[in-house]
Amino acid sequence: MAVLALMLLAATTPGFSAPVSGTRQHRVAGCGRFSFSSSSCHAAGGPIIVAGDPPTFVSAPGRRIVAVGDLHGDLYQTRAALVMAGVLSPESDCHLWTGGQTVLVQVGDILDRGEDEIAILSLLSSLNMQAKSQGGAVFQVNGNHETMNVEGDFRYVDPGSFDECMRYLEYLDGFDGNWDDAFLNWVNVSERWKEEYRVLPNGDWLPLNFVKKQKGFAARASLLKQGGPLACELARHPVVLVVNDWIFCHGGLLPHHVEYGLERINKDVSNWMQGSTEGSDGPDLPFIATRGYDSVVWTRFYSQDSVERTLRAWNLSSLVAEQTLKSVGAKGMVVGHTPQTRGVNCKCDGKVWCVDVGMSYGVLHSRPEVLEIINDRARVIKDRRGPYDEMEVLDYL
């Protein structure tokens, strides 16, 4: 069992103060990955400690937790959700973390259906670097659309995302292969590159522009193939994350997943995305996490609408949720994957929270909502009138 303790309160953060004395930064071979440890931290409630590589268990004493659902390539709605959650500055041209010691968890499906996927990944990575310097953290959980793209399944890719892949590779060339710097800064320049690209010859994605389509597919494949740089970026993140007493995953966690082992699941998926395992020519697709109606990223066992289920199925899901939570030692579960037409809500007798509201323009284009957890008390923050306007907060006991 790979356990990596990370002290996240002191980290090198571009554009911010110098690292705290005693901070060490380690590159994980093959994927430009980093772990951080510090011999000194003074955050209220103690340091954030992460076990597992990718992160699996997180101890974040006294922290406010915010969960955000599926983003699907919509940068505008992503910003709106994060501003509403109080973790992002409202100015669109400066992506500053305003969450202090908040722990932000995004539950997967950043890819597909929208045209700013890499920009969103860049934004979350940048916010994580900033958050760690303030005693907070940002975590991402991979969903089914992340695993589909690493498999080479591009059926749900927005045409603009193929363009973004080509633009990003061109932008990366200017960094002499320095992936980390280019990736972190992409969100700050992506809009300008998009506008400049559109005025170039063949800047539009035309149905008959087969050459451009081929280039777009090739660019995306080079980034997201197993062992590709963007696949390795995704490999840094888990498919199951436990923060304090709460489980976060995309589809849902079931008893046989727990029996298999949460760290083992995360490691299997990470190795598969990187395209390497010890003593093997190549890793097999981790079926228990990424394939099938009862896999971690695909199951809708908890999130399906009540009108689509029998009373027996409803009662069964509540019993299974209780069994799963008990086996992990958790009090609640947060999932995405299934758009909730009535907004963020709880199911299974209050044991499971469903936070996918279909906010992306490629899904339902609904108004963003987020879930806030403080001292194991969950509440929905949503905005009726529009982005960055007056908020309504609903409390759940």
Active site residues: 145
Question: Which of 174, 216, 168, 176 minimizes the C-alpha distance to 192?
Answer: 168
Token pair 């947060």 is found at: 334
Question: Which of 145, 165, 179 minimizes the C-alpha distance to 222?
Answer: 165
Residue pair 91/49 in contact (Cβ under 8 Å)? The answer is: no
* Cα separation, 306 vs 320, whole angstroms: 16
Residues 6+ away with beta carbon under 8 Å from 38: 7, 9, 10, 11, 20, 22, 23, 24, 47
Containing 393, the helix (H) or strand (E) segment is strand 392-395
Query: Can you say how many angstroms the Cα of residue 79 is from the centroid of all Cα atoms in its chain?
Result: 14
In Å, what is the CA distance from 377 to each residue of 63, 65, 237, 245, 339? 12, 10, 26, 11, 23
Q: What is the DSSP letter of 285?
A: P
Residues 6+ away with beta carbon under 8 Å from 49: 5, 6, 7, 8, 58, 59
* Cα separation, 9 vs 107, whole angstroms: 22
* Cα separation, 367 vs 312, whole angstroms: 33
Token pair 């008959």 is found at: 208
